Amino acid sequence: MTTGPSTPYLAVDPNRLRDNLRRAAEWAATNGVALRPHAKTHKTAEIARLQLDHGAVGLCVATVGEAEVMAEHGVTDLFVAYPLHLDEPRTARLRALAERCRAAIGVDSVEAATRAGRLLGPYAVDVLVEVDSGQHRTGCLPGEAGAVAAAAAAARARVRGVFTFPGHSYDPDRTASAAADEGRALAAARAAVEGEGLEVAVVSGGSTPSFAHTDVGVLTEARPGVYVFGDAQQWELGAMALESIALTCRATVVSHAGGRAVLDSGSKALAADRAAYSTGAGRLLDHPDARVVQLSEHHAVVDFAGAPLPPVGEQVAVVPNHCCAAVNLADELWVEEDGELRSWAVAARGRNS
Which residues sit at the interface with a second copy, rule CB under 8 A? Answer: 5-9, 40, 62-65, 82-85, 87, 89-90, 108-109, 111-112, 132, 136-140, 167, 252-258, 262, 264, 266-269, 271-274, 294, 296-299, 301, 312-313, 322, 324-325, 328-331, 350, 352-353
Q: Which residues contact 56 (CB under 8 A, 6 or more apart)?
A: 35, 36, 37
Rounded least distance, CB 151 to a second copy, Å: 14
User: What residues contact residue 246 under an 8 Å CB cut-off, 6+ apart?
Assistant: 12, 13, 14, 16, 17, 19, 20, 228, 229, 230
Supply the minimum distance, in Å, between the C-beta of residue 167 and a second copy: 7
Q: Which residue, 177 or 252, has its beta carbon nearer to a second copy?
A: 252
Comparison of 76 and 352: residue with beta carbon closer to a second copy = 352
- Minimum distance of a second copy from residue 329's CB (angstroms): 7
Q: Quick one: three-class SS letters along 83-137?
A: CCCCCHHHHHHHHHHHHHCEEEEEECCHHHHHHHHHHHCCCCCEEEEEECCCCCC
CB neighbour list of residue 330: distance below 8 Å, 6 or more residues apart:
9, 10, 269, 346, 349
Least distance from a second copy to the Cβ atom of residue 135, Å: 9
Closer by beta carbon to a second copy, 33 or else 273: 273
Nearer to a second copy, 28 or 117 (CB): 117
How many C-beta atoms surround the C-beta of residue 319 within 10 A?
Answer: 26
Residue 108 and residue 60: Cα distance in Å, rounded?
17
> By three-state DSSP, how is residue 243 classified?
helix
Minimum CB separation of residue 33 from a second copy in Å reads 24
Q: Quick one: 17 or 302, whose CB is closer to a second copy?
A: 302
Smallest gap from residue 66 Cβ to a second copy (A):
10
- Got the DSSP string for 305-349? TTSPPPPTT-EEEEE-S-HHHHHTT-SEEEEEETTEEEEEE-TTT
287 bridge partner residues = 284
CA pseudo-torsion sign 30, 31, 36, 42: negative
Please identify, using beta-carbon distances, which residue of 297 and 338 lies nearer to a second copy: 297
d(CA 287, CA 316): 9
Q: CB-wise, 33 or 234, nearer to a second copy?
A: 234
- At its nearest, how many Å lie between a second copy and the CB of residue 216? 25
Cβ distance to a second copy smaller for residue 13 or 108: 108
φ, ψ of residue 61 to 5 degrees: the values are -140, 170
Residue 205 CB, shortest distance to a second copy, in Å, is 16
In a 3-state reduction of DSSP, which class is residue 38?
A: strand
